């Protein structure tokens, strides 16, 4: 059981960092509910998909996951850098469905690859998938709230840090897989 919990926390870290970065950018207050649902849901669905696809899809997932995550995180992080550099009003913050989908995909592609390993964990796959989704949702909510507090305390320029964090996560994912 502990291996399933450890896997869930490991997979949740990227989503937690992205949630904190969104909190820094002072996005909509509803993001404290939306982001955990999106991230937890995507992590669980992608892990289940990886488990179901098994050996057939494993090579395809592993071959492209890091490139997709890198591209999405660099684009979103770059936008945060531009917004942070400009400072000022965040009323034009992007919060549409496509942004949430891009963030969900970018942070959960590794869960699909991890799903391939679920038969190796000595816990029923559905329990591990539930833990992955629940722990990711909880960590994302905490990350968002911490980012929001830091953003309010230290100002809008802290969004530059959030953008750099997203770009660093994307770069780390890419470098680890090359």
pLDDT given for residue 91 in this prediction: 47
User: Hey, how many other C-beta atoms are within 10 angstroms of the C-beta on 163?
Assistant: 24
Sorted by sequence, the CB contacts under 8 Å of residue 29 that are 6+ apart come out as none
Would you state the pLDDT for residue 173?
74
Residue 52 CB coordination number (10 Å): 13
Q: What is the pLDDT of residue 8?
A: 87
Domain extent for 14: 2-22+29-177
Domain count, the chain: 1
Which of 27, 144, 172, 159 has its CA nearest to residue 82? 159
Q: What is the pLDDT of residue 132?
A: 93
pLDDT value, residue 131: 94
Mean pLDDT by 10 residues, the chain (178 residues): 83 85 76 90 91 70 71 75 65 67 83 76 87 94 89 71 77 79
Residue 140: predicted pLDDT: 93
Place of tokens 């929001």: 148
Q: What is the pLDDT of residue 41?
A: 95
The structure's pTM equals 0.71
CB 117 within 8 A of CB 52: no
- Region class of 88: left (phi > 0), else alpha (psi between -120 and 50), else beta: left
Q: What is the Cα–Cα distance from 27 to 87, expressed in whole angstroms?
A: 14
The H or E element containing residue 122 is none
């Amino acid at each position: 059981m502990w291996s399933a919990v450890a896997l869930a926390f490991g997979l949740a870290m990227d989503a937690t960092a992205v949630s904190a970065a969104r909190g820094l950018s002072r996005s909509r207050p509803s993001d404290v509910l939306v982001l955990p649902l999106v991230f937890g849901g995507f992590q669980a669905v992608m892990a289940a998909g990886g488990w179901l696809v098994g050996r057939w899809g494993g090579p395809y997932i592993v071959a492209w996951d890091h490139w997709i995550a890198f591209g999405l995180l660099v684009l979103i992080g770059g936008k945060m850098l531009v917004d942070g550099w400009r400072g000022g009003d965040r009323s034009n913050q992007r919060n549409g469905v496509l942004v949430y989908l891009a963030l969900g995909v970018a942070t959960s592609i590794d869960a699909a690859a991890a799903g391939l390993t679920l038969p190796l964990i000595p816990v029923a796959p559905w329990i591990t998938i539930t833990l992955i989704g629940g722990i990711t949702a909880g960590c994302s909510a905490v990350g968002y709230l911490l980012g929001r507090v830091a953003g309010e305390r230290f100002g809008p320029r802290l969004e530059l840090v959030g953008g750099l964090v997203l770009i660093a996560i994307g770069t780390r994912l890419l470098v680890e897989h090359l």
